[in-house]
Structure 1
């Protein structure tokens, strides 16, 4: 772990002035990138702190090291590897005159051993990460889903955690579908407004158990 100040001189640093920053183009993170191919570098830019935290966590899990947040604010984020004496450290902060977050200091080296069961792999994160897989096959067996998850993130996951993740993913999908159905009346109103001669009817049955209409 390194303290702020002169002790951080060994870290790679981004240009400090606007003039120096504008003299070269820095890479911007693109969400279409494959996580396995992303490498952090000084000057790399992210849309906001949420995006930076999300990708840093995903990369740490994929690479097999546990992240420790020393500072996690809207415009300043500093993280290190949780392993004792591992030198990895990264610091990102807001760029001048915009909300973009930029990597300002970086020590990319890891001297730690790979962590197989990463404590940062939680069921909520798994649900968000693999919601599309569950959407494609809602009845996928937990054992099969576990194999898919472990193959993709290179981390060990218990069956109970996979089961919780699947249930949360199904809940996410259910809420998404419910939200879309809730807008049917808005769609119908818009159709009537744009095409006054059009007749629009929405048919549904009321489910007494759920206390809501079923389309």
Structure 2
């Protein structure tokens, strides 16, 4: 298992310690212009949605991670079959039918988006917020999570680690836009991974938008070094480039930041 206190994933701007076949031996003279060859018509979020994985060489001989897809965003829940086995339900935390209605439950604080703590019954303002928080949990714990269902009423996510029982279910609250955790098994029994497929451009641009606001001229290579040291996860050059581009566009068009 890869410990969280692992040091030296990124040594400096001229020595990124990776083996992904992505020109890791970049020189110190690498500038943002070196990323101009990126095909901007292809967004890594789209790549993630369809799980087109071009990284065949995993660092430290890690096991291949199971494909991740986000499901049908506009799908209908009619006729769906719950993916949770009844036998598993006996050993996991689940809200009983109707328990969420009219009950007092904690409301998720968006300030904790990038360092979330899940608990049974917690309420999210929207389905999007719930999904983003699951994504943050994946990156924080260095596990790849898969959305096995992404319907209008129910969202299921599981850990793709071999034999790992971590899973979570969010259910839409009746007559509201809010989503509530009604089923949660919090234990990860799988090892951590340096390659986490939930790392996406949109997540990076949102998390680090203030960093770009304070230093918009920060080159992409330096940004990539910073975030890989912080997250202890692999971030490709293309992802770092697109994250900066998206963040700067948001800063240009929004007084919010």
The normalised TM-score by structure 1 is 0.71
- Corresponding residue for residue 28 of structure 1: 107
Q: CA deviation at 1:83?
A: 1.5
Preserved contact between residue 63 and residue 154 of structure 1 (Cα < 8 Å)? no
**Structure with the higher helix share, 1 or 2:** 1
Point out where structure 1 has 5 or more consecutive residues left out of the alignment: 178-215
In 2, the alpha carbon distance for the partners of 1:153 and 1:26 equals 31
C-alpha spacing 1:97/1:64, structure 2 compared with 1 (3 Å): same
Higher RCO structure, 1 or 2 (CA under 8 Å, sep 6+): 2
The normalised TM-score by structure 2 is 0.60
Equivalent residue in structure 2 for 1:16, among 77, 84, 97? 97
Q: CA deviation at 1:116?
A: 1.0
- Corresponding residue for residue 49 of structure 1: 127
The residue correspondences of 1:106-185 to structure 2 (distance < 5 A) are 106-176=184-254
Preserved contact between residue 43 and residue 103 of structure 1 (Cα < 8 Å)? yes
Which protein is bigger by CA-based radius of gyration?
1
Give the paired residue count: 173
Aligned CA-pair RMSD: 2.3
Q: CA deviation at 1:67?
A: 1.0
In 2, the alpha carbon distance for the partners of 1:124 and 1:97 equals 29
In 1, the alpha carbon distance for the partners of 2:212 and 2:230 equals 14
- Corresponding residue for residue 38 of structure 2: none
Offset from partner CA, 1:153-208 (integer Å, 9 cap, x none): 3312133421232123223323437xxxxxxxxxxxxxxxxxxxxxxxxxxxxxxx
Q: CA deviation at 1:62?
A: 1.3
